[in-house]
Amino acid sequence: MSEVHVSRRTRLRDRCAASTAHDGPADAVLISRPANVRYLTGRAAPGSVLLLGPDGADTLVSLPGEGPAHGAHPADDLRETVLPGDASADVDAVVAAATLAEKGGGRTLAVEEHHLTVARHRALGTAAPSLRLADLGPAVEQQRVVKDEEEISALRIAAEITDQALGELLESILVGRTERHLALELERRLIDHGAEGAAFPTSVATGHNSGLPGHRPTDRRVEEGDFLTVRLGARYRGYCCQIGRTFVIGTAPDDWQIELYDNVFAAQRAAREALGPGTECREVDRAARQVLVSAGHGAGLGESTGHGVGLEIGEDPRLSPAAMGKLDACVPVTVEPGVHLPGRGGVRIDDTLVVRPQADGGPELLTITTKELLAL
Amino acid sequence: MSEVHVSRRTRLRDRCAASTAHDGPADAVLISRPANVRYLTGRAAPGSVLLLGPDGADTLVSLPGEGPAHGAHPADDLRETVLPGDASADVDAVVAAATLAEKGGGRTLAVEEHHLTVARHRALGTAAPSLRLADLGPAVEQQRVVKDEEEISALRIAAEITDQALGELLESILVGRTERHLALELERRLIDHGAEGAAFPTSVATGHNSGLPGHRPTDRRVEEGDFLTVRLGARYRGYCCQIGRTFVIGTAPDDWQIELYDNVFAAQRAAREALGPGTECREVDRAARQVLVSAGHGAGLGESTGHGVGLEIGEDPRLSPAAMGKLDACVPVTVEPGVHLPGRGGVRIDDTLVVRPQADGGPELLTITTKELLAL
């Protein structure tokens, strides 16, 4: 793994030496966004920042008391600096890193203006006044979009864990249990099967809550005749996947339930089938959206119908009407259209897939739990 | 509750009309930090921001698809604006709120520079160019330090829930179970007893992991003779409490375990007894610290030995050597010294207490689980 991280850092350095987002070349780079630090170092080290110094040395700067960085690789040529425990509380890791860059003879330091707060940015400028500060922009986020096979393999395992946890739940009695308890049980099962944790708070929504985007589990109990929407995902080696399924409780779904389910299913399939290298992101979104709009469900649609996944659950690219850019091969994305009818309930179907060329068989479905409308 | 929020907003307005942190008076205020938005509105609305407008109207600006704001009070005179679903992804809630302030005739808008990123701050300035931007500084955080009795009552319930969850765990068999499973079980019990969720990720550390600050549960199993440190807290109506306890597994603790436990216990008691209105925060820290330094455990000490709690688990005041300022009555804080001996393990004892004058009986202990060294 360590060579991978060295080469990621080298790519970033080369890019910054050529030019940053808005402010010309930079001879030093400060990475503060946690997922970016992890991507470039392999370390999950909360509060730590990474300096690509002007002298060619890469240094991970950590605050005291954060505990040791996880996943250190002795073969990696990354220096590690822990600030002394008696450092003033005002000296945070970004300030210490900027000071280090200045001491190393840096002239222009590229920083993540989309992550640094105004207050930290000012503190950094004050602590290292001879440095010119430039905006790195989302350079690391862009580097993260296309995954290597090791990253995809972590995602594949995350998806397997997620499918297992969901499959076990489906074998248990659901009627009478609360959304909160079902969500907790799913999260426990994720851990049981080897996840580091949940990739995001598990959402379980039943009855009139079903299909609500971002629904947080309540004390509502599952009842006969309910739609039940479940959305969960495992985090494995830092990588996050997502699955969403909708079930009906009892024996025979109502006609409106069958119709709504069929619509969302058709929309989701259309978007999945639209995935391919070179496809515009907004075309994928449109594929799902137009099915639902023609079925009269345009009003209930959210802002996007999918997004990239990786070290964060919501990454580039976005699959939305306003999205710019095209898909590449080896980009994992979710496809997750959903409709909620206020007062009645709704349907969500989410998959995580990897974009692959047709020659390789087309999109690779990672979350393989059935998408038939199961009556549980 | 709604009157409480109106009066909190009025206090903030009055303060900003007089002066902001660095930049003179402001006739409009934009609150973006989620816990501050919740404090001033009673709404837990992720992604929403609050504008105290130049026309005297208070508006909660929300992004589409975030779901309805929880806890709305019809009697409150708060306006609510949800951005249209087809708004460009680049228009976020702070930009929309700044535009609203400009349209309302605002001249100076105070913003939370310690929360806004450089990129959002710039977008806001571009969207509303006639506004002068000032720094609000941590004005709302300062307002949040002293709690009213309703807030303390929520904390008291959070602490009861936490004590119950911990108490039940102590009655079960621990040997052979992993840190991860124990942590999950504690979190489930928090929910069972009525918590909204865990106030922070539950930490369970056993054997050589015990006493590590911020330890994340692993697959290590509890063994005979281990120290077991557990740190958890419920969130109730948004309010977060914290308890930490250390146990020994098996029948008879070793001498080094008894000695270390007694030292940490004495340090924790000294800090608890030092709590009082008018006491310097660093004096409370020193009370704990000097006990451990004299016992030869100065090296293992963290940066602080306690902190405020409320809508966030880590709030002002800090109890640390560098802390400025004095305690007030009705300020809830944690007292949580701990020592970790590398390769062996350690002890942490954390309580949540409310600072009260001696005339009212002195500090009010919220987390009442015993601090005897129990052998489980």
Does residue B221 have a pLDDT over 80? Answer: yes
Q: Taking residues B281-302, report their average pLDDT.
A: 91
**Residues of B in Cβ contact (< 8 Å) with A184:** 187-188, 191
For residue A33, give the chain B residue with the closest CA.
B117
Give whole-number Cα distances, B308 to A30, A111, B90, in Å.
Answer: 31, 31, 36
Cβ distance B89 to A303 less than 8 Å, yes or no, reads: yes
Would an 8 Å CB–CB cutoff place B325 in contact with chain A? no
Does residue B67 have a pLDDT over 50? Answer: no
- Residue A90's Cβ-count burial label (10 Å; 0-12, 13-18, 19+) is exposed
pLDDT value of position B251: 77
Closest Cα in chain A, distance from residue B211 (Å):
11
**Partner residue facing B213 (CB), from A65, A117, A121:** A65
- Residue-wise pLDDT for B100-120, tens only, equals 999 999 999 999 999 999 999
Give exposure, A238-251, as e/b (b: 16+ Cβ within 10 Å).
Answer: bbbbbbbbbbbbee
pLDDT value of position B105: 93
C-alpha to C-alpha distance for A171 and A165, rounded to whole angstroms: 10
Asked if B91 and B40 touch (Cβ cutoff 8 Å), the reply is no
Phi, psi dihedral angles at B108 (to 5 degrees): -120, 125
Angle at A44 between CA A39 and CA A49, to 5 degrees: 75
Q: How confident is the model at residue B65 (pLDDT cuts 50, 70, 90)?
A: low
Does residue B69 have a pLDDT over 60? Answer: no
- Residue-wise pLDDT for A230-283, tens only, equals 999 999 999 999 999 999 998 789 999 999 999 999 999 999 999 999 999 999
Q: Taking residues B31-45, report their average pLDDT.
A: 93
Strand bridging mode B58-62 / B78-82: parallel
- Residue-wise pLDDT for A324-364, tens only, equals 999 999 999 999 999 999 999 999 999 999 999 999 999 99
C-alpha to C-alpha distance for A62 and A3, rounded to whole angstroms: 22
Closest Cα in chain A, distance from residue B46 (Å):
10
- How large is the greatest C-alpha to C-alpha distance in chain A, in angstroms? 72
Structure tokens belonging to residue B91: 């228009």
pLDDT value of position A72: 46
Percentage of residues in chain B having pLDDT higher than 70: 94
Cβ distance A114 to B116 less than 8 Å, yes or no, reads: no
Whether cis (ω within 30° of 0) applies to the bond prior to A332 is no
- Three-state SS for B239? strand
Would an 8 Å CB–CB cutoff place A103 in contact with chain B? no
- Three-state SS for A178? strand
Closest Cα in chain A, distance from residue B59 (Å):
23
Would an 8 Å CB–CB cutoff place A193 in contact with chain B? no
- The total number of residues shown for chain B amounts to 376
Residue A42, Ramachandran bin (φ over 0: left; ψ between -120 and 50: alpha; else beta): left
Q: How confident is the model at residue B71 (pLDDT cuts 50, 70, 90)?
A: very low
Which A residues, 252 through 311, put their C-beta within 8 Å of a C-beta on chain B?
301-303
**Residues of B in Cβ contact (< 8 Å) with A122:** 113
Name the residue among A362, A150, A156, A367 with its Cα closest to residue A277.
Answer: A362
Q: How confident is the model at residue B68 (pLDDT cuts 50, 70, 90)?
A: very low
Phi, psi dihedral angles at B162 (to 5 degrees): -65, -45
Residue type, A247: F
Alpha-carbon B160 to chain mean position:
17
Q: How confident is the model at residue B70 (pLDDT cuts 50, 70, 90)?
A: very low
Q: Taking residues B68-93, report their average pLDDT.
A: 62
Would an 8 Å CB–CB cutoff place B64 in contact with chain A? yes
Cβ distance B323 to A66 less than 8 Å, yes or no, reads: no
pLDDT value of position B78: 83
- Which parts of chain A register pLDDT below 70? 1, 64-76, 84-91
C-alpha to C-alpha distance for B292 and B286, rounded to whole angstroms: 10
pLDDT value of position B372: 92
Name the residue among A57, A54, A46, A112 with its Cα closest to residue A80.
Answer: A57
Q: Which residues pair with A326 in a beta bridge?
A: A280
Q: Which residues pair with B197 in a beta bridge?
A: B235
**Partner residue facing B303 (CB), from A64, A114, A121:** A64
For residue A136, give the chain B residue with the closest CA.
B119
Q: Which domains does chain A have, with CATH numbers?
A: 2-144 (3.40.350.10), 146-365 (3.90.230.10)
- Residue-wise pLDDT for B252-275, tens only, equals 899 999 999 999 999 999 999 999
Lowest mean pLDDT among A283-287, B156-160, B338-342: B338-342
Phi, psi dihedral angles at A260 (to 5 degrees): -65, -45
Cβ distance B65 to A214 less than 8 Å, yes or no, reads: yes
Would an 8 Å CB–CB cutoff place B358 in contact with chain A? no
Structure tokens belonging to residue A31: 């990475």
Whether cis (ω within 30° of 0) applies to the bond prior to B138 is no
Structure tokens belonging to residue B290: 């000097």
The mean pLDDT of chain A is 91
Which residue in the block uniquely carries the two structure tokens 């300062």? B142
Would an 8 Å CB–CB cutoff place A64 in contact with chain B? yes
Would an 8 Å CB–CB cutoff place A119 in contact with chain B? yes
Which B residues, 147 through 186, put their C-beta within 8 Å of a C-beta on chain A?
180-181, 184
Complex ipTM, two decimals? 0.80
pLDDT value of position A66: 52
pLDDT value of position A24: 80
